[in-house]
Amino acid sequence: MDFVIHNMFQKYTQSTYETCLACSLLQSVDQIMPIKINKKIELEVINHSMKFSKKDFVVGHLDYIGKKYKLNILRVVDNQPFYNYIKKIKTGPNIKIKVARIDFKLIDSYLETTKPIVYIDAYTLFKISHAPHFITVLRKIKNKYEVFDPWYGKTMIIESETLSDAISSLRNHLLFCPQLITLSK
């Protein structure tokens, strides 16, 4: 993997084991409206999430971002049973949820207009342990993807197969539902 500091993202590394989504969302907010990402706001996001609902890790993060920054959020989940489950959790009107298979075709379609946040198994990137992890896909370069990883606070170029394996491992090994999240005005 090639590590490259990318000018478009703030140089900020997640400060806790559980704040990859908070940092990914804040980086996406910064692409729409400039903000200063710091530990205080990172922890505000995850603390709000923990208090919001014990039924789903993601929904409270989205609620915080949607309310604080008045942004529209699309959350795509990979399977119908999970969609039915999370659809019952009350959220703001600016958070939309839909079902679609998370794969290259879907990621590539969103890359045309945004930089999607994607839920993966971190093992495929780090080869240390299996754990759910959020990254942001920045662009496709031939048969590779440039992604921003909040764990390191840097971008890296990964093979298409690596991204595919990371999504498949989340789905089939960890038994978590793959997801894709986008933000817009």
Nearest to residue 61, comparing CAs of 24, 35, 22, 97? 22
Locate 116 and state its tokens: 């999607």
Per-residue pLDDT of the chain (185 residues; tens, 9 = 90+): 333 334 478 889 999 999 999 999 999 999 999 999 999 999 999 999 999 999 999 999 999 999 999 999 999 999 999 999 999 999 999 999 999 999 999 999 999 999 999 999 999 988 899 999 999 999 999 999 999 999 999 999 999 999 999 999 999 999 999 999 999 99
Domain 2-184 superfamily per CATH: Cysteine proteinases (3.90.70.10)
- Domain ranges within the chain, ordered by starting residue: 2-184
pLDDT score, position 8: 73
Scored b (16 or more CB within 10 A) or e, 100-124 reads eebeeebbeebbeebbbbbbbbbbb
Could you tell me the pTM of the whole model? 0.94
Angle, CA 173 vertex, CA 14 and CA 141 arms, to 5°:
60
